[in-house]
Structure 1
Amino acid sequence: MEQTIPEVIRTIPLQHYIFFASALFSIGVLGVLSRRNAIIIFMCVELMLNAVNVLLAAFSAYRADPNGQVFVFFIMAVAAAEVAVGLGIIVMIYRNIQNTDVNLLDRLKW
């Protein structure tokens, strides 16, 4: 039995998905490199993970191969664990120094 590409995916060219994901990833990288707030940096890392998810899902749909979608679920699980651990760390930093500016983290040294 031959697998077919869903009709919605077939109407949008693959290049549009690649452009969208590269724009999302670039915005995430610029946010990580230019911002000082730990929460904003954290959100930009999540944006980069979502850009990778978009590409994996698009390539998976175009090739009619579910392996890419399985990787998307693994990335989502890693992102959920990152959110749990990362937000816990950010809350502890805020409790110690009353700020989430990453430049002030040198106060936490021994």
Structure 2
Amino acid sequence: MAIEVNGTTIETDEEGYLTNLEEWSPELAELMAQEDDLELTENHWEVINFLREYYEEYQIAPAIRVLTKQIGKRFGKEKGNSKYLYELFPYGPAKQACRYAGLPKPTGCV
């Protein structure tokens, strides 16, 4: 599979995750969100940017429990819960947000 961004073809696996993490861009994230009928807000970007930083540091995408806990630590208790994260990413906060962030599918996600 592939996604077209600004005249460049970007390869993805069958679930829509990037095959080359270096090809990620904010425009790509916006395009993926549009395909899911979502408009990325500042709150979405907090999670996406957090995931990218986390991956850079640990070389792994966090599972949902870790994501929820870390978001709560960084952005406050009202954002560190799965209800809030599911409102932002209805197809599963860890899976959908990682896809938008250009990261591999989180471990433990089916």
| Structure with greater helix share of residues | 1
| Structure with greater strand share of residues | 2
TM-score, shorter chain, exceeding 0.5: no
Normalised by the size of structure 2, how large is the TM-score?
0.28
- Which one has the largest radius of gyration? 1
Normalised by the size of structure 1, how large is the TM-score?
0.28
